[in-house]
Amino acid sequence: MSLTFNKLEVVSEFNKIQVRETDENGKYWRRIVYPDMDVSSEVQEIQDKAEELWTDEVKSAWTTHKAEQEAKLKE
Amino acid sequence: MSGIINSAGSKSGIIGETTMRYEEGFFTPTWNVSVSGGTTYGYYVRKGNEVTIYVQWNGTYSGSISSIQSLPFNLDNASAGYSAGMTFNNSSGTGGISRFEDTEWLYTGSIPQASGNLVMATGSYVTDSP
């Protein structure tokens, strides 16, 4: 299956990038790209948005948030 | 409210229409355990800010499933923990209470590995995405 980039949306205070793609049949596929992810294999639009929004401060805040969430879930 | 009311006072067009976002599509769920083989299937329907997801998977895994990750839309954290329901089905049994937390859909127990695994789940949550 081949997916083609369709659009992106930026969500939450952590600037997560919500991605919509389409397959050969025109069906939508969704996924979220998080600030700790490697975007080097993503399309240029996503790389550019990540570069623009994912400052060190945002990445650090996301990492801290994730760690807090994981700790909370283990309680 | 939208619509057209002409000079004679009769109504035409659409009165009281509320535009609601609707979208349906697919996503690829991931799990908290190592999986191999099988077919993973994730389908979503979004109506307004409510997202309902359907997940099915029939592969082999080690450990016990306790969460589904890679949601199609961001979870509104204000609704975390409140807006979920989930049923797992496999040869070990069915049922369960669950909740959404940030990036994950959590099962309060765990689904043990079993032969003939078929994991199916459906649930709804609220998204804060545009």
**Please, what is the end-to-end C-alpha distance for chain A in angstroms?**
40
Dump pLDDT digits (tens) for A21-72: 999 999 999 999 999 999 999 999 999 999 999 999 999 999 998 888 777 7
CA B107 – CA B104 distance, rounded (Å): 10
Is B69 an 8 Å CB contact of chain A?
Answer: no
CA B2 – CA A67 distance, rounded (Å): 47
Q: What is the dihedral of CA B60, B55, B81, A12, to 10 degrees?
A: 110
pTM: 0.80
Using an 8 Å CB-CB cutoff, list chain B residues near A32.
70-74, 103
- Angle CA(B25)–CA(B28)–CA(A70) in degrees, nearest 5? 120
Dump pLDDT digits (tens) for B40-56: 889 999 999 889 988 88
Residue B79 in tokens: 């609704």
Is B44 an 8 Å CB contact of chain A?
Answer: yes
Question: What b-and-e string marks burial along B78-94, b requiring 16 or more CB atoms within 10 Å of the CB?
Answer: ebbeebbebebebeeee
The verdict on a CB contact (< 8 Å) between A30 and B44 is: yes
CA A38 – CA B65 distance, rounded (Å): 26
B8 — pLDDT class (breaks 50, 70, 90): very low
The residue of B52, B100, B102 whose CB has the most chain A CBs within 10 angstroms, and thus the best one to mutate to test that interface, is: B102
Is B40 an 8 Å CB contact of chain A?
Answer: no
Biggest CA-to-CA distance, chain B: 72
Dump pLDDT digits (tens) for B59-79: 777 767 777 888 899 988 776
Number of domains in chain A: 1
Question: What b-and-e string marks burial along A39-51, b requiring 16 or more CB atoms within 10 Å of the CB?
Answer: beebeeebeebbe
The domain containing residue A38 runs over which residues? 4-74
CA B117 – CA B59 distance, rounded (Å): 7
Question: What b-and-e string marks burial along B117-126, b requiring 16 or more CB atoms within 10 Å of the CB?
Answer: bebbbebbbb
The residue of A20, A22, A25, A31 whose CB has the most chain B CBs within 10 angstroms, and thus the best one to mutate to test that interface, is: A31
